[in-house]
Structure 1
């Protein structure tokens, strides 16, 4: 009896359409995974349609988006691997903390409660959204200049403009406000259960030249897991910015994630064997957060 291909659910962040994960999906499918890239609630099927109808995603918050993905996962019948970028990186950590995922890779994850650094460069790039309280219930787009300054700051302007034209969509501003106020709100939706003992392993990836989620934010998120009874690893790409999952260097990041999954018993062969035998993947002795 053939083992079932393990599922990987990809979760994008603000200003990206779900189709931005397609190169990753092709790579993961080629090595034996079954990839899924559900959009955020209300997100149209194409970037062009999303740009034409920003109202469909307006006023969607972290809790609603997380529950949307939780419902997708519950419908699968088995725990998938979850991989997310930016606010998707925060959401996959929440899903992992809820016990819904076999393992997770969070890339440049947005702030969660407990992350204290607030770099000036991050404030500067968030100001076009956070500077207007009326944006809270709106969907907001990035101009090509804003996209290059913050999101794709480490690639050429030509590549940045091409990425903006292909992938950029208006996104709800509400998650940005929620993350910005997370440490002032004990009931914030930007909270992650970092100590759930049934959590699967986690890899956090930071970009050393990221001006949207500076590397100090990713590293601070990793440190919140220092007492967790689970595997929590960290990797930084020193010369990469926030566009590291979609720009010309995306494959290096994706292959790093694949290698880490394999090292932690989450390869297609290991997960297929575990499912067939009715067991969980073997535990790992890799270093935890410190």
Structure 2
């Protein structure tokens, strides 16, 4: 592993990129070069993004992925990519398309071909999917909605604290695209899971996750059965969707670092 290896962190829907700061500090101490640019339209801070919600509206999976491809092109070397939620979906796309040397997809958003649709996932998506007009708008979660989707495996107090710290408005379009992926011939949520020439991939699932229930993460893992490239799976049975930025984030982060070392990255 070389200090020159960049690690690109990609946040998910409704969470600001600054939520990765603990991970970035840890990875920097381990010798990597960490960066966590936001999605198109995100401002530099949580507060500024909340004030300018319209800037993030009507951004789809292809728009978000393209913004990270541009970041990779500026790096001049294929980075390691670590993504959470929809960031995990995008991490898989970047890896499959040759824009990453390795990837970690944590509670990854539903890619095309994943068939399970648990009730918890449906309920978590209702703040967006219940109104067709939200496809072209930015949508914010309430404290109660965040508690169900992200903070169900932690205390009410910690959930409320994380809500205030990290939540931002998010575009509704990616959720509509992912929910319709299996009915669309050219879905932006499609990933070349059969690619055997890509770098190693680790998928992580949270056993108490409501937004991406573990059955969804495991279904994505099984789609890679036709690839000869390294594809590993790790479960954290007692974790919900907040697992990358709640008080127990370090256990998840340490596992990803250990896995990368085993891959020689």
TM-score, structure 2 as length reference: 0.98
Matches within 5 A, 1:237-248: 237-248=236-247
Matched, 1:253 2:255: no
Separation in structure 2 between the aligned mates of residue 34 and residue 179 of structure 1, nearest angstrom: 31
Q: What's the counterpart of residue 40 of structure 1?
A: 39
Gaps of 5+ in 1: 267-290
Q: What's the counterpart of residue 214 of structure 2?
A: 215
Gaps of 5+ in 2: none
Separation in structure 1 between the aligned mates of residue 14 and residue 51 of structure 2, nearest angstrom: 14
| C-alpha deviation, 1:16, in angstroms | 0.5
SS in 1 for 2:75: coil
Separation in structure 1 between the aligned mates of residue 202 and residue 257 of structure 2, nearest angstrom: 11
- 2:3–2:32 CA contact under 8 A, matched in 1: no
Query: After TM superposition, where is structure 1 displaced by more than 4 Å over at least 4 residues in a row?
Result: none
Q: What's the counterpart of residue 147 of structure 1?
A: 146
Matched, 1:29 2:21: no
| C-alpha deviation, 1:186, in angstroms | 1.0
Bigger CA radius of gyration = 1
SS in 2 for 1:203: strand
C-alpha distance after superposition, 1:219-277 (max 9, x if no partner) = 000000001020000000000000000000100000000000000111xxxxxxxxxxx
C-alpha distance after superposition, 1:35-69 (max 9, x if no partner) = 00010011100000001111011000000100100
Q: What's the counterpart of residue 132 of structure 2?
A: 133
Separation in structure 1 between the aligned mates of residue 28 and residue 124 of structure 2, nearest angstrom: 35
Separation in structure 1 between the aligned mates of residue 47 and residue 219 of structure 2, nearest angstrom: 36
Separation in structure 2 between the aligned mates of residue 230 and residue 110 of structure 1, nearest angstrom: 21
SS in 1 for 2:225: coil
Separation in structure 1 between the aligned mates of residue 15 and residue 190 of structure 2, nearest angstrom: 23
| C-alpha deviation, 1:5, in angstroms | 2.1
| C-alpha deviation, 1:196, in angstroms | 2.1
C-alpha distance after superposition, 1:142-180 (max 9, x if no partner) = 001000011111011110010000000000000000000
Separation in structure 1 between the aligned mates of residue 119 and residue 111 of structure 2, nearest angstrom: 18
Separation in structure 2 between the aligned mates of residue 173 and residue 250 of structure 1, nearest angstrom: 27
C-alpha distance after superposition, 1:62-94 (max 9, x if no partner) = 001001001100111111100000000000000
Q: Which stretch of structure 1 is more off in the superposition, 133-142 or 190-199? A: 190-199
Q: What's the counterpart of residue 9 of structure 2?
A: 10
SS in 1 for 2:153: coil
Q: What's the counterpart of residue 282 of structure 1?
A: none
C-alpha distance after superposition, 1:92-113 (max 9, x if no partner) = 0000010111100000001010
- 2:3–2:31 CA contact under 8 A, matched in 1: no
Separation in structure 2 between the aligned mates of residue 35 and residue 151 of structure 1, nearest angstrom: 25
- 2:104–2:204 CA contact under 8 A, matched in 1: yes
Q: CA RMSD in A?
A: 0.7
- 2:8–2:35 CA contact under 8 A, matched in 1: yes
